[in-house]
Amino acid sequence: MSFMTSETGVIIVGAGESAGSLAFSLRQQGYSRPIVLIGDESHPPYRRPPLSKAFLAGEVSAESLYLRSADSYARQNIELRLGLGVEAIDRAARSVTLFDGEVLSYDRLVLATGGHARRLLLPGADHPNVHYVRTITDIERLKKEFLPGKRLVVVGGGYIGLEVAAIGIKKGLGVTVIESLPRVLARVTAPEVSAFYERVHSEQGVKLLTHTGVEAFDGDPRVTGVRLGGGAIVPADIVVVGIGLVPNVELATAAGLLVDNGIVVDALTRSSDENIFAIGDCANHENSFLGRRLRMESVASAVEQARICAAAICEKPAPRSGPPWFWSDQYDLKLQMVGISQGYEQLAIRGDINGRSFSAFYLHDGEIIAIDTVNRTGDFAVGKRLLAAHARAEVAQLADESFELKSLLPA
């Protein structure tokens, strides 16, 4: 029987990046009532970014991904319930039912349920050598087959697909990437940046097929080939599908909460029920920096929302959102992005694309709305401040390396 039965506190559903951050933020803000984290994976909260990077490469252990040691939860009096999911929410009774039937009462409930990899709905997509990249378990399974000489076909030319391709090359696999859109990273970068990444991957030996759909998987019980729209077959020993994330909103929907591309929450992460909050990948939040709604899948956003949620629960002034940011590591390239580039009108490239060190500035109405930097951590650091300050600039200034970016910051 849980101690929650005597005194109710915060129940956090999900034990990922945002849930782990929230539990400790609550304690830092002075929250003294019980905190219970319930996660259906068997690991304590961990960082997912290395899953498609160093962990897949076999360079780091699963334990090194943990946000904190298991002991530190106990020291902060945070109860971790792992390997067990929440099945239902009873809003009227303010309780949740776990899959084993236990009922726990809450004072405040936080949904930090993340999302799951979008499935490819094709015959053969459930064969054992078709992989998705979301959890430690997914990668442990994939790593067993990720061996030199194997033919890897990656479906999806987004960050995760390209990171997996880069590790595949590093480990001596033959790699093909299939992307249905005309270019890789199409949803998040300018054509110039996509072209750069396409060139780098091709130079490294990746076979890139853009504007190409997957029609079927050949082979049974294992996929032996990926059949393309035009009928051609790409031979495959392993298939990795990286075609996006679907937010885990089933619990919220069943409980009657407002859901629209994620659980709809306000700027303080509160849902349509004042006692229920949602944070991280599963939440469609009112972003105070952008002045509009956003469901963001990034560590920075998960941590920021955790802090805002902790402040809201503790009834303290909440920090404002900053510009959203993200990173991706491929080969020797550190891509760091800040802001949302959609809707930009002008692009300025600073630095030398061929020299593998440049920044792309996206402008809307003269304001810098997003920056992608490749191997330019200095530009990224200044760039975050430029966005936060809603700085304006001319394309010619940004493209001129002798022009001081800092001079665009307010005095």
Residue 201 or 227: which CB sits closer to ligand FAD? 201
Q: Which stretch binds ligand FAD (CB under 6 A): 182-190, 211-219, 298-306, 359-367?
A: 298-306
The interface with ligand FAD within residues 323-342 (CB under 6 A) comprises 326-328
- CA dist 304 and 329 (Å) reads 22
Reduced 3-state DSSP string for 321-357: CCCCEEEEEECCEEEEEEECCCCCCEEEEEEECCCCE
Residue 278 or 363: which CB sits closer to ligand FAD? 278
The residue within the footprint of ligand FAD, chosen from 10, 23, 37, 38 (CB under 6 A), is: 38
The helix/strand/coil state of 108 is strand
Interface with ligand FAD includes 287 (CB under 6 A)? no
Q: Which stretch binds ligand FAD (CB under 6 A): 66-74, 275-283, 358-366, 388-396?
A: 275-283
The residue within the footprint of ligand FAD, chosen from 9, 34, 44, 114 (CB under 6 A), is: 114
- CA dist 284 and 272 (Å) reads 12
In the complex, the smallest distance separating the C-beta of residue 102 from ligand FAD, rounded to whole angstroms, is 13
- Show the beta-strand stretches assigned E in 99-139: 103-105, 108-111, 115-117, 130-131
Q: Which stretch binds ligand FAD (CB under 6 A): 13-21, 100-108, 123-131, 315-323?
A: 13-21
The interface with ligand FAD within residues 344-373 (CB under 6 A) comprises none
The interface with ligand FAD within residues 154-193 (CB under 6 A) comprises 160
Residue 34 or 39: which CB sits closer to ligand FAD? 39
Rg value, the chain, Cα: 22
- CA dist 148 and 155 (Å) reads 19
The interface with ligand FAD within residues 40-99 (CB under 6 A) comprises 40-41, 48-49, 51-52, 85-86
The residue within the footprint of ligand FAD, chosen from 9, 10, 12, 14 (CB under 6 A), is: 14
The residue within the footprint of ligand FAD, chosen from 236, 251, 265, 337 (CB under 6 A), is: 251
Q: Which stretch binds ligand FAD (CB under 6 A): 64-72, 189-197, 278-286, 363-371?
A: 278-286
In the complex, the smallest distance separating the C-beta of residue 329 from ligand FAD, rounded to whole angstroms, is 7
- CA dist 305 and 16 (Å) reads 13
Contact between residue 109 and residue 94 where contact means Cβ atoms under 8 Å apart:
yes
The helix/strand/coil state of 31 is coil
Which residue type occupies 219? G
Residue 190 or 251: which CB sits closer to ligand FAD? 251
Contact between residue 165 and residue 177 where contact means Cβ atoms under 8 Å apart:
yes
Q: Look up residue 25 and give its DSSP letter.
A: H
Contact between residue 408 and residue 371 where contact means Cβ atoms under 8 Å apart:
no
Here the tokens at position 51 are 């899953």
What number of CA atoms fall less than 13 Å from residue 90's CA on the CB side? 11
- CA dist 268 and 184 (Å) reads 35
Q: Which residue is nearest to ligand FAD (CB)?
A: 16
The residue within the footprint of ligand FAD, chosen from 152, 188, 302, 408 (CB under 6 A), is: 302
- Measured in residues, the chain has a length of 411
Residue 15 or 190: which CB sits closer to ligand FAD? 15
Q: How many residues interact with ligand FAD (rule CB under 6 A)?
A: 36
- CA dist 164 and 57 (Å) reads 9
By CB under 6 A, name the binding residues for ligand FAD. 13-19, 38-41, 48-49, 51-52, 85-86, 112-114, 133-134, 160, 248, 251, 280-282, 297-300, 302, 326-328
